[in-house]
Amino acid sequence: MVRPCALEGAGKTIYKRFPQKYASGMDTKPSRKRPELSIVVPFFNEEANLPELYKQITETLTGKYDFEMIFVDDGSTDGGYEFLRKCHEADGRVQVIRFRRNFGQTAAMSAGFDFARGDVLIPLDADLQNDPADIPRMMDKLSEGYDIVSGWRKDRKDKAATRKLPSRIANWLIGRVTGVRLHDYGCTLKAYRREVLAETKLYGEMHRFIPALANWKGARITELAVNHRARTAGVSKYGLNRTVKVMLDLMTVRFLGSYSTKPIYVFGGLGMISMVLAFIFLVVAICQRIFGEKLHLNKNVLVTFTVLLVMMAIQFILMGLLAEIMVRTYHESQGRPTYVVRDRLGGPDDEGK
């Protein structure tokens, strides 16, 4: 028996019937084989949007794809989880993961990816700003031979000063630093082939960098303009401080992308620069002692700089050596190779051993 799927006491009775309408008479059992598509929805206090979101996803995809929906409750304090519990009981394609507390959108998305079984994974905002109607077009684009289709909110319905402007600058900067130029890193709606997400661990605000991380592993990426709608219910969960976090994450991503297997090149390089500067300062100081104004070395500030720079150089190089040890521990203890293989012809059967 299909049960009503309304939010009790929230006056949302207009949705009372939709689980029956969309769930009954269709194949809503969780499929045993891998579904084609997993929709991953992280949400935090989006009670007012979830019923309409569920309705739109199922309306768009039922009959077209074999799909599952994974809702990740990122520590909400409203009735969203109860609503989804009822959806889950009525519709086997709905999975719900509930966090013990608010861990952030990236962690929630990461959990969704971990539990998803689909061949294609599509994250979506729960606030209805992304439009599920774009999903079939993204699937078509993927089938042209891409690994990632990145949504681009071409006509973005957000505040200009606190959202669109910082986002433009951030996108430009991320594009330059990572070498993967996308118009809209921040758009949650993206389609990923499962393989590109394997072994991609997400920290901080890093879900937006997945295209860049995947590109370093050789993924083929394209963009698709998607619909964007203004938020009509609930409140935005972010302020301007997200920009700062994104910038710091960008530094991390850049470092990990270019130098994670050879950190001594970065630290050693800085150490070398310090050494060279120290040497130049010392030579200048000696020249000043002998030829110029006969300045005593112990009164020359350049000598102080030399000492400082030599100490910094030693620190940098030691830090580089430590990082090298850590890289080896990381890769060797977990059996992670330092390369990514696309295909292999011939050779032993047991995966590269």
Applying CB under 6 A, does 78 fall inside the site for ligand UDP?
A: no
Query: Which one-letter amino acid corresponds to residue 296?
Result: H
Which residues from 88-117 bind ligand UDP, rule CB under 6 A? Answer: 102, 104-105, 108
Q: Is 120 in the site for ligand UDP (CB under 6 A)?
A: no
Question: Which residue in the block uniquely carries the two structure tokens 């920290």?
Answer: 203
Stretch that binds ligand UDP, among 9-17, 124-132, 140-148, 274-282 (CB under 6 A): 124-132
126 touches which of Mg ion, ligand UDP, none (CB within 5 to 8 A by kind)?
ligand UDP
Dmax of the chain from CA atoms?
98
User: Minimum distance from CB of 91 to ligand UDP (Å)?
Assistant: 20
Strand order in the sheet with 67-73: 94-98, 67-73, 37-43, 120-123, 190-193, 148-153, 221-226
Of 38-46, 124-132, 166-174, 188-196: span binding Mg ion (CB under 5 A): 124-132
| Residue type present at position 55 | K
Site for ligand UDP in 218-237 (CB under 6 A): 236-237
Q: Does 42 help bind ligand UDP (rule: CB under 6 A)?
A: yes
Q: Per rule CB under 6 A, is residue 212 in the interface with ligand UDP?
A: no
Which region, judged by CB under 6 A, interacts with ligand UDP, from 37-45, 192-200, 205-213, 258-266?
A: 37-45
Choose which of 73, 78, 127, 249 interacts with Mg ion (CB under 5 A): 127
Torsion of CA 194, 200, 201, 202, to 10 degrees: -80
CA separation for the pair 120, 345 (Å, rounded) = 25
Q: Does 127 bind ligand UDP (CB under 6 A)?
A: yes
Quote the tokens at residue 297: 């070395």
Q: Is 243 in the site for ligand UDP (CB under 6 A)?
A: no
Q: Is 184 a residue that touches ligand UDP (CB under 6 A)?
A: no
In the chain, the amino acid numbered 119 is D
Report the residue number, 31 or 162, with the smaller CB distance to ligand UDP.
162
- Residue 223 interacts with which of ligand UDP, Mg ion, none, CB < 5 to 8 Å by class: none
Tell me the one-letter amino acid at 219.
A
CB-side neighbour CA atoms (13 Å) of 128: 17
Complex with ligand UDP: residue 236 or 304, whichever CB lies closer:
236
Given a contact cutoff of 8 angstroms between Cβ atoms, the answer to whether 253 and 211 are in contact is no
Is 44 among the residues that bind ligand UDP (CB under 6 A)? Answer: yes
Say how far apart CA 245 and CA 151 lie, in whole Å: 22
Does 38 bind ligand UDP (CB under 6 A)? Our answer is no
CB of 237 to ligand UDP, least distance (A): 3
From the list ligand UDP, Mg ion, none, partner contacted by residue 330 (C-beta under 5 to 8 A by kind): none
Out of 49, 110, 129, 130, name the contact with Mg ion by CB under 5 A: 129
- Residue 76 binds Mg ion (CB under 5 A): no
- The residues that touch ligand UDP, with contacts defined as CB under 6 A, are 42-44, 46, 74, 102, 104-105, 108, 125-127, 129, 236-238
